[in-house]
């Protein structure tokens, strides 16, 4: 009980604690020795907690008031130094807030996918997906991946005979959205047989269809090929590579080279998965040095968060370090002014 009371006394300001903690602890010891029944002990703790609830806030407020008056007197005596210090601190806080927002969006905030920390991007020119069956067999039998999905981006003409625009389209494997764990805003995601279906972005839905739910089921032309709109993705979803429409692709011979994203199995470390993946690629499709297009090529596996941040990762971290240094400089100036 004495340890608990000592811990509670730490809520008082340091100056008050240093001066009065000893006498208050001794008084508690005396009252604790006199409390011979459970009722008396409970009443003692009720009085102590009630007193702490009233006295701690008042002492903190008193300490803040005294410190504020002292700082104000010093600042009035040094107006120029005070003004410079406040300006430096304001600029530092503003810069730090802005840069942290960018870094948070790029590097820290969780991706809007299911279990993003286990997502990896695979780089290889020859993954086995000359057919949907071959790809499914590979991903379902993987020793290091729980699942995987494919995508490939291209620019295409989209619309109808009256209105045609150029958009960024991602062709994907049928399991793409179920793999990511992202559900459409309205409508449904692809099934394995939806090769004539299309999902569009929230922005495209607003721009071309005015946010009308009746856009579902309409037929739109994609490079002259009619596709049925079956869903609208949530706002801000534009993966991969700022795509605004998604088509369920038919995997045939020649699909090799598509972007592959996988999810590591639980308990499998990235380094172990990288080794197994590189060995598998070497066994299935060894690099032929005589082909100039393959020289210097090497399979790779990368955390999706790092890969999506790209070259901005290092620059963002350096910029964050710089503004933190400015913030510390502003705090130092304010401390000197005080």
Same domain, 205 and 216: yes
pTM attached to this predicted model: 0.61
Same domain, 108 and 155: no
Structure tokens, 270: 């990235």
Q: Is the pLDDT of residue 249 over 80?
A: yes
Same domain, 89 and 73: no
User: By CB neighbour count within 10 A (0-12 exposed, 13-18 middle, 19+ buried), where does 158 fall?
Assistant: buried
Same domain, 135 and 251: yes
pLDDT band, very low/low/confident/very high, at 4 (cuts 50, 70, 90): confident
Q: Which of 17, 50, 77 is the last residue of a domain?
A: 77
Looking at residue 300, its pLDDT comes to 82
Same domain, 132 and 276: yes
DSSP string, 241-299: TT-SEEEEPPP-TT-TT-EEEEEEPTT--HHHHHHHHHHHHHHHS---TTSGGGTT---
Distance separating alpha carbons of residues 280 and 267, to the nearest angstrom: 20
Choice between 117 and 70, residue whose per-residue pLDDT is larger = 117
Q: Is the pLDDT of residue 82 over 80?
A: no
**Which range among 72-76, 155-159, 184-188 shows the weakest confidence by mean pLDDT?**
72-76
Asked whether residue 21 is assigned to any structural domain, the reply reads yes
Looking at residue 229, its pLDDT comes to 94
Looking at residue 54, its pLDDT comes to 87
Looking at residue 234, its pLDDT comes to 94
Mapped onto helix, strand or coil, the DSSP state of residue 46 is helix
Distance separating alpha carbons of residues 318 and 180, to the nearest angstrom: 31
Residue 59's closest CA among 18, 22, 29, 110? 18
Residue 16's closest CA among 56, 65, 71? 56
Choice between 8 and 324, residue whose per-residue pLDDT is larger = 8
Choice between 187 and 258, residue whose per-residue pLDDT is larger = 187
Same domain, 147 and 171: yes
Same domain, 197 and 280: yes
Looking at residue 191, its pLDDT comes to 82
pLDDT in tens, 29-64: 888 778 777 788 888 888 888 888 888 888 888 888
Asked whether residue 294 is assigned to any structural domain, the reply reads no
Distance separating alpha carbons of residues 216 and 204, to the nearest angstrom: 13
Same domain, 134 and 275: yes
Residue 220 gets which letter from DSSP? Answer: E
The CB density around residue 311, as the number of other CB atoms within 10 Å, is 7
Same domain, 324 and 211: no
Q: Is the pLDDT of residue 201 over 90?
A: yes
pLDDT in tens, 123-151: 875 666 677 788 888 889 999 999 999 89
Structure tokens, 243: 């795509």
pLDDT in tens, 202-245: 999 999 999 999 999 999 999 989 999 999 999 989 888 889 99
Residue 299's closest CA among 326, 279, 318? 279
Q: How many domains does the chain contain in total?
A: 3
Q: What percent of the chain has pLDDT over 90?
A: 26
| Extended strands (E) in the chain | 119-123, 145-159, 164-172, 186-187, 197-200, 219-222, 225-232, 245-248, 259-264, 300-303
Same domain, 70 and 87: no
Asked whether residue 221 is assigned to any structural domain, the reply reads yes
| Sequence-separated (6 or more) residues with CB below 8 Å from residue 202 | 185, 232, 233, 234, 235, 236, 237
Same domain, 226 and 239: yes
Looking at residue 295, its pLDDT comes to 46
- Residue-range definition of the domain harbouring residue 186: 125-287
Asked whether residue 256 is assigned to any structural domain, the reply reads yes
Q: Is the pLDDT of residue 331 over 90?
A: no
Asked whether residue 119 is assigned to any structural domain, the reply reads no
Q: Is the pLDDT of residue 167 over 90?
A: yes
pLDDT in tens, 271-327: 999 999 888 887 776 555 444 444 445 678 888 876 665 555 666 667 767 777 766
| Sequence-separated (6 or more) residues with CB below 8 Å from residue 83 | none
CB-hemisphere CA count at 13 Å for 178? Answer: 11
Mean pLDDT of the chain: 80
**Which range among 86-90, 211-215, 235-239, 260-264 shows the weakest confidence by mean pLDDT?**
86-90
Same domain, 155 and 244: yes
Looking at residue 19, its pLDDT comes to 82
Choice between 1 and 62, residue whose per-residue pLDDT is larger = 62
Distance separating alpha carbons of residues 299 and 160, to the nearest angstrom: 41
Mean pLDDT of 152-159: 91
């Amino acid at each position: 009980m004495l340890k608990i009371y000592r811990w509670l006394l730490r809520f008082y300001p340091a100056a008050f604690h240093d001066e009065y903690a000893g006498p208050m602890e001794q008084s508690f010891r005396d009252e604790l020795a006199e409390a011979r029944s459970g009722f008396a002990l409970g009443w003692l703790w009720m009085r102590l907690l009630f007193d702490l609830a009233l006295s701690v806030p008042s002492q903190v407020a008193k300490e803040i008031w005294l410190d504020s008056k002292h700082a104000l007197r010093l600042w009035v005596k040094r107006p120029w130094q005070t003004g410079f210090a406040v300006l430096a601190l304001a600029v530092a806080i503003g810069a730090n807030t802005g840069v942290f927002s960018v870094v948070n969006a790029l590097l820290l905030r969780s991706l809007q996918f299911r279990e993003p920390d286990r997502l990896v991007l695979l780089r290889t020119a020859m993954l086995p997906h000359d057919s949907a069956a071959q790809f499914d067999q590979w991903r379902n039998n993987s020793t290091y991946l729980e699942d995987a999905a494919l995508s490939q981006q291209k620019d295409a003409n989209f619309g109808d005979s009256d209105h045609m625009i150029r958009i960024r389209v991602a062709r994907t494997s049928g399991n793409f959205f179920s793999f990511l764990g992202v559900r459409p805003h309205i409508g449904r995601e692809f099934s394995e047989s939806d090769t004539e279906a299309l999902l569009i972005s929230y922005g495209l839905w607003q721009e071309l269809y005015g946010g009308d739910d009746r856009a579902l089921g309409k037929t739109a032309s994609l490079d002259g090929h009619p596709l049925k709109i079956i869903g609208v993705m949530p706002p801000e979803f534009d993966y991969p590579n700022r795509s605004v429409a998604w088509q369920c692709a038919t995997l045939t011979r020649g699909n090799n080279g598509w972007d592959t994203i996988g999810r590591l199995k639980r308990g499998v470390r990235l380094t172990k998965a990288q080794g197994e993946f590189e060995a598998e690629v070497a066994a299935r499709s060894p690099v032929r040095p005589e082909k100039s297009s393959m020289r210097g090529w090497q399979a790779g596996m990368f955390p999706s968060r790092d890969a999506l941040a790209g070259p901005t990762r290092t620059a963002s971290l350096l910029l964050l370090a710089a503004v933190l240094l400015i913030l510390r400089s502003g705090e130092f100036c304010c401390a000197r002014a005080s």
